[in-house]
Copies of this chain bind each other. A is one copy, B any other.
Amino acid sequence: MQRWSVPLGPVAMFSASNFPFAFSVLGGDTASALAAGCPVVVKAHTGHLQLSNRVFGLIQQVLAAQGLPAGLVGLVQGGGRDVGVRLIRHPAIAAGAFTGSTQGGAALAAEAAARPRPIPFYGELGSVNPIVALPAKLATDGAALATNLAGSITLGCGQFCTNPGVILLIDEVQPDIDAKAVNDAFVAQLTEALTAQQPHAMLTTVMRGAFEAGVAQWAQAGADMLLQETAAAGQPPRPVLAQVSALEFIAKAALREEVFGPSSLIVRAASLSQALQVLQAVGGSLTVTLWGVEQDSDKSRALVRGAMAIAGRVLFAGVPTGVAVTAAQQHGGPWPSSTRPESTSVGDAALARFLRPVCLQDAPAWLTERAGRRV
């Protein structure tokens, strides 16, 4: 017996708003699907329609020059929800790939599951990417970490799916360290470092509006707005920093939603066990970053377990923005960060999303000896 991988069939690919090249018409999902042997129908993102058309024009030229079928890559456009729904419902579509909001992704995933013939739907959705910073680490490296973190929060004006949206600080009393004082000092350092940042403009007015609505929702939910400056008319948004207690964060779903833009929410936990409950309340995230677990200890193990339970990628240094395209990469985590935590949309394993195995039993030599395993 042999086990081959065969393409699933035509893939409906929903472009992301925030990566007009890397996750749009000719981005990672299209590359994965084509590499797996699947034709692709792209749903262009309304945030960059002209660019999508230009890229699609290039594709058509290349297909013609290479003598490939013109239908290998298709493009559909349209503003309303209807275009995407009709695409994912089309009988010839065999899989969906999506990068975008939890709401939009959940709606399309439900459509994919409700078809007469259900199909896999790979959605990379919203993620708050918690950073857990232990006081002992902040006591020695706080200033440098605050600067790095401010750069990560405002990178690309915060429009990264791995943007650190939650900073979890643990105020637990310890014999050798005044945790609360250290954490307060770090918050002050971070506020200062963020104030110095000059984010560029957001990609679209829709995204800018959603960012401002998200920040307003934090304030409305009772968050302490540590940094909230009004940008001058026509200027890019200013960085935002807010703070809540762990109990508030756990109690209010509104505080746990991703706010897409140059902002972060500090969550103050009174104990390790409360910090673990905060991670549990997040539920699913593309990444969790742990600063200060370099030494093996019960606390380190508990935090690693808590992080691995909800994340697709766990970092032990640095910041989560920036996603290496490698064999080990995992960009996808438990709900609500993705619809398929067992899959990744970045890295070598991304193309496996569009393959399925076929077992050949007692196959003749003419078939099993074929180069490329194509019939």
Contacts and interface: CB of A to CB of B under 8 A. Distances in A.
B313 A358 contact: yes
Among A359, A364, A366, max chain B CB count under 10 A is at A359
Copies in the complex: 2
Nearest to A6: B308
A332 to B, nearest CB: 8
Interface stretch (A54-62, A143-151, A239-247, A293-301): A293-301
A304 B375 contact: yes
A113 interface: yes
Contacts of A317: 361-362
A184 interface: no
Interface stretch (A71-79, A206-214, A227-235, A322-330): A322-330
A311 interface: yes
A119 B341 CA distance: 9
**Max count, chain B CB within 10 A of own CB: residue among A110, A344, A360:** A360
A118 interface: yes
A314 interface: yes
A2 B360 contact: no
Contact of A360 (B284, B314, B326): B314
Interface stretch (A45-53, A193-201, A264-272, A349-357): A349-357
A109 to B, nearest CB: 7
A283 interface: yes
A132 to B, nearest CB: 14
B118 A3 contact: no
A340 interface: yes
A104 interface: no
B117 A110 contact: no
Contacts of A340: 120
A120 B342 contact: yes
Contacts of A6: 308-309
A318 B358 contact: no
A216 interface: no
Contacts of A326: 1
Contact of A313 (B300, B312, B361): B361
A117 to B, nearest CB: 5
Interface of A: 1-4, 6, 8, 106, 109-110, 113-114, 117-120, 283-284, 293-296, 300-301, 304-305, 308-309, 311-318, 324, 326-330, 334-336, 339-342, 344, 349, 355-364, 366-367, 375
The 5 A-B pairs with the shortest beta carbon distances in the complex, nearest first, are: A296-B366, A330-B359, A113-B113, A1-B328, A317-B362
